[in-house]
Structure formats: C-alpha cells, structure tokens
Chain A
Amino acid sequence: MDVISPEGLRQDGRTPTCLRDISCRLGLYDRPNGSAYIEIGNTKVLAAVYGPREVRSLSKQNLDECVIQCEMSRIAACQGERVRRPRDQRTRALSLQIAGVFHAAIRKTKYPGSQIDIYVQVLQADGGVTSACINASALALIHAGVELMDYVVSCTASINKTTPILDVTQQESVTGCEVTVSMLPNKGSVVSLDCAHTLHLDQLDEVVDLAMEGCQQIYKVMSQEVETYLQDKNAVMSHQ
C-alpha cells in the first residue's frame, strides 16, 4: 500500500505536512518532583522527574554541575508484538540519547553536586517514540521547576519518494527513513538530529526543515499547556 494515496493523503487521512493530534498534561503524580504525559496520535508516553537532589553514587558526583540520568522503559503491550523486557539495549541507547539532549538544555551549573533523574515510560508506541519521550521529559522538567535554557521540542519527519512527510507513524517509518530532530524552539538551534535508515544528502535539508517546522507547531501546543497549567495554579507570569 502506498504511503501517500493518489489524492495526496496519507493512510490516516493527513496531508504530508500535517501533525497528528497532540495533547499533553502536566502534574499527574504527587511523588515525583515533576511529571507529564503526552499523546501524539497513538504514541503515549509518561515522564517523571526526580530532582535536583543528592547524588546517589558519589563516584558520579560533579561539584561543578549536576548529573543527568535518564531511564526509559516500555510496557509489555505497547506495540503489536508483546515486549518481553521493559528495558533492553535499545531502550538504554534511547535513554542515553534523551539524557544527551537535556545535557544541552538544562542549566547544569545551577545545580552543582546534585542529580536529576528523568524516567520515561512508553505506554503505546506508534512512531516518533523518541520525540514523544523528549517532549514529555521537557514538560516534566518544566513541571519540576528545573532551569532550562529553553523548551526542548522534538519531531520526526521522513520522505516518501520526493515528498517530505511530517510526524511519521510506525507503519510509515517501516518503508522509509525516520529523522528525529530535537531543538530549542526559541533559539532555533538543533540539539539532536538522528536519522534511521538511508536518506539522500540532497533531501536532508528538506526533511530537516519540515521537522523543524513541526517542532515549532508542537512547541505552541506545549507552551499553551504549560500556560494553562500555571493559570490554573494562579501563577503570576512575568511576560504578560
């Protein structure tokens, strides 16, 4: 089956440059310092942040800046086939990638000698899992009140023959590449660019541009949610 129909629509009825429905929520749980939930189409992710707090293994302690750790796990029924282990090599690699993104975004020198833990739980996976994890973690960090340079927003894009497509589902990523771009939306700088499968160099620009455009759209949804949350809590916002 074609990724894009002759009418120019995708399997789920979207146009090539359309995002899936996004909704997010802050502050689900009391115990972690920050928690958030995000749903991008059928991809659903929960994130919890503990910290800044005392480092647990002193050998890792850095007296100049904070230690950032991330652990990602999946529930057994998160995709078609049952996942036998909640954590495996793949999730560990993704955890490192997520932690890497936040190394660039958190003002680490503000928390010398302490540790920030980010735990991500994938409830349902349908393409763009890394993106969803990064977005959820960013919201959880904001909820925890950790100082960030900027929001961190992530989005995926791909290319079908010559048409770039935004926010790919699992099914769409099987047939083509999946480029995950994470960026600081206000600065406009990219913190991570990750490409699975092959992509022609001439097409890279187009795909990355589209993903960055998607990031800006997701940023609007996320910042809207944060503002709504703060308004509910009667916070005074300086920029208004």
Chain B
Amino acid sequence: MADITLSESEKRYIVDGVKLGLRVDGRERLDYQHMEIETGLVSTANGSARLRHGCTDVLVTVKMEMEPPPTHQPKDGLINFFVNCSANAAPEFEGRGGEDLATSLSAMLDGLYASPMSLDRSRLCVVPGKYVKVLYVDVEILECGGSLFDTVSLGVKAALYATRMPKIYITGEDGGEMEFMVSENPQEVDRVDVSNAPILITHLRITENLTIVDPSPEEECCGPVQVVVGVNPKGLITATQQFGAGTFAPQTLADSFKSASALGVKIHQQLMQRLQQEENVPNRKIRGFW
C-alpha cells in the first residue's frame, strides 16, 4: 500500500528477526501497537470515532436515515458501509486511485456485519414494511500505515458504540401515512447494541509457519499474503478472507485462526473498557485533531 521499497538484505533482516521472535520495533510476534481512540468528534454525525494506530489514522462517522425497507426483509433495518481512501493518506489515492482498496475494505465490513449474530437489525425497525433506520457508516482513511483492516474494524465498532439516534415516536396514522415525532430531548436517545459486534485481526505470513499481527508497512513488504479474520467478543470466528498473492500452509492458517480468536477476545475487552471509561468522563472535552 505504501510506496516503500526494501532491499533484499533489509527484508532478510526483518524476516530473520521474526524467526528469532523479535521485530524491528521491539514488539513480539503477536503484539499490537499502541492505539489512540476518541469518539464524538464530528458533531454533524450521529456517531463518530477516530482511531490512530501506529501510522494509521481512520475517521469513522455514522449517520442515521429513515428509509423504506427492502421488500424481502421488511422488518430489518440496514447498515451500509462506505470506505473512502483520502488522497491525504497517499497521493496514489487521488481521484479514483483508492477505489480498489476501499472496495475490499467495505466488502469485508459488509461480510462482517451481515450476520444477525453481529448486529440485531430488527432493533432498527420503526414501522415494519414502511420505515426502518438505515445506518450509513462512512470510513475515511486519513493516513495509511499498516494493518488497515484491524484499525478500520475497531473504529467502526467504536463509532457504532458512540452512535446516538433521537427516539422516534409514532403519533398516529393519517390515510395510510404514518406520522412521526422525533424527540428533541438530547437525553432521549436510542443506541446501537455493539455487544456482539466483531473486529478484524490480520495475520501476515512471514515464513511457512510464522505469522505476525499488526504488521508495519515495512513488514508488509516482506510477506505477500495475509489472512484477515473476523472475531466476535466471545472469540467466535465470523468471517475470514485471504489477501495477496501467496499461499498458506493449512496448519499455519489454523494456528492463525486460533491466535486471532484468543487475541480478539482481549482486544474486544480493552476496547470496550476504554470506550466506557471515555463515556464516563463528565463534561469531556473533545480533543479532535490536537
């Protein structure tokens, strides 16, 4: 993704380091980098979160709209993902340059949240068959420096957690047309239940039987193939996809799933803890881009 060119000896240095259990920045194979998260920084959205993770920076916003449901699922709300790779992140993303990456990211998110186990869509229903809530989740990639999938999925979960939708009351019916009242009280809000929302964990293959998580852009140059695993808070795997040109040994793949499942539970816990902590700060001041 990044315009980094490494020489053969530089690659060798990284690969041999991983074989000895030591990475260039001092982490171990299954260590994540430090993350910074803040929610509620875009006041024009129903929910928003910014996640900085190493050199990756994503901004996720959620906007709710009321729309008629699709005919085959009249009682379910919708959640739509749109990813945009900002040219700020890399000049190659200018114009339509980031579209391929954006499409694979949004397809992965669609798959991740497709299951009713991940997100209960029936709770987004307002009037069955007539109106449902549609959540538009827009992901903006502001800086792109490795493990994009993991960062984006954590950002999406955080933004959904921070989403506040005004309560909607049905006040009556007039000739088949529903009448609504949208609550103006800022305390009267509906939230999205993210207790089962999954996250993505990426394993990058370095050698035949060694994988690392959260690779830096330099490390991504050393391994052509990675497997992205969706893990829910209970450690169950909800989606997987392999990216890149290369192969995995079946055993390595199985090991990656196992470690993703164990890591996922921990990261879910830490994320939720951090979000709850942030929510409980009285009169929290938004830091934004400072």
A residues adjacent to B (C-beta < 8 A): 25, 28-32, 35, 37, 39, 42, 44, 46-48, 50, 71, 73, 75-80, 82, 86-87, 117, 119, 121, 123-124
In the bound complex, CA of A86 to CA of B63 (Å)? 15
17 A-B contact pairs sorted by A residue (CB < 8 Å): A31-B90, A39-B289, A42-B43, A44-B288, A46-B88, A46-B289, A71-B94, A75-B42, A76-B63, A76-B84, A76-B138, A77-B48, A77-B138, A86-B86, A119-B86, A123-B42, A124-B44
In the bound complex, CA of A87 to CA of B88 (Å)? 14
Residue in A35, A79, A80, A123 with the greatest tally of chain B CB atoms within 10 Å: A123
B63–A77 contact, CB under 8 A?
yes
* Contacting residue for A71 out of B57, B61, B87, B136, CB 8 A: B87
A31–B143 contact, CB under 8 A?
yes
Give, as a whole number of angstroms, the nearest-CB distance from A23 to chain B. 8
Give, as a whole number of angstroms, the nearest-CB distance from A57 to chain B. 11
In the bound complex, CA of A80 to CA of B82 (Å)? 18
On chain B, which size bracket covers the interface? 20 to 34
B87–A73 contact, CB under 8 A?
yes
Give, as a whole number of angstroms, the nearest-CB distance from B38 to chain A. 13
Contacts A77-B63, A123-B42 known; A86 to B84 CB distance under 8 Å? yes
* Contacting residue for B88 out of A35, A42, A78, A80, CB 8 A: A35
A29–B45 contact, CB under 8 A?
no
* Residues of the A chain whose Cβ atoms lie less than 8 Å from the Cβ of B145: 31
Give, as a whole number of angstroms, the nearest-CB distance from B51 to chain A. 15
* Contacting residue for A75 out of B57, B87, B95, B140, CB 8 A: B140
User: Within 8 Å of chain A (Cβ to Cβ): is B142?
Assistant: yes
Q: In chain A, what residue has the closest Cβ to B88?
A: A48
- Given A31-B144, A48-B87, A71-B94, 17 new contacts (CB under 8 A): A29-B142, A31-B55, A31-B89, A31-B143, A50-B91, A76-B136, A77-B45, A77-B62, A77-B138, A78-B44, A80-B44, A117-B91, A119-B87, A121-B86, A123-B42, A123-B289, A124-B44
Give, as a whole number of angstroms, the nearest-CB distance from A43 to chain B. 11
* Residues of the A chain whose Cβ atoms lie less than 8 Å from the Cβ of B59: 75, 123
A25–B91 contact, CB under 8 A?
no
Give, as a whole number of angstroms, the nearest-CB distance from A83 to chain B. 9
* Residues of the B chain whose Cβ atoms lie less than 8 Å from the Cβ of A46: 88, 142, 289
Give, as a whole number of angstroms, the nearest-CB distance from A149 to chain B. 25
B290–A119 contact, CB under 8 A?
no
Which parts of B133-156 form the interface with A (CB within 8 Å)? Answer: 136, 138, 140, 142-145
Q: In chain B, what residue has the closest Cβ to A85?
A: B84
* Residues of the B chain whose Cβ atoms lie less than 8 Å from the Cβ of A123: 42, 59, 289
User: Within 8 Å of chain A (Cβ to Cβ): is B255?
Assistant: no
In the bound complex, CA of A148 to CA of B63 (Å)? 40
* Residues of the A chain whose Cβ atoms lie less than 8 Å from the Cβ of B190: none
Q: In chain B, what residue has the closest Cβ to A115?
A: B91
* Contacting residue for A25 out of B44, B48, B86, B290, CB 8 A: B290
Q: In chain B, what residue has the closest Cβ to A30?
A: B55
Residue in B61, B88, B95, B140 with the greatest tally of chain A CB atoms within 10 Å: B88
A117–B44 contact, CB under 8 A?
no
B88–A119 contact, CB under 8 A?
yes
* Residues of the A chain whose Cβ atoms lie less than 8 Å from the Cβ of B62: 77
Give, as a whole number of angstroms, the nearest-CB distance from B184 to chain A. 15
* Residues of the A chain whose Cβ atoms lie less than 8 Å from the Cβ of B95: 71, 87
Q: In chain B, what residue has the closest Cβ to A120?
A: B88
User: Within 8 Å of chain A (Cβ to Cβ): is B65?
Assistant: yes
A73–B86 contact, CB under 8 A?
yes
Which parts of B165-186 form the interface with A (CB within 8 Å)? Answer: none
Contacts A75-B61, A76-B63 known; A39 to B88 CB distance under 8 Å? no
In the bound complex, CA of A47 to CA of B88 (Å)? 7
Which 8 residue pairs of A and B lie closest in terms of their CB atoms, listed nearest first?
A76-B138, A77-B45, A77-B61, A48-B88, A119-B87, A37-B289, A50-B91, A119-B88
* Residues of the B chain whose Cβ atoms lie less than 8 Å from the Cβ of A73: 84, 86-87
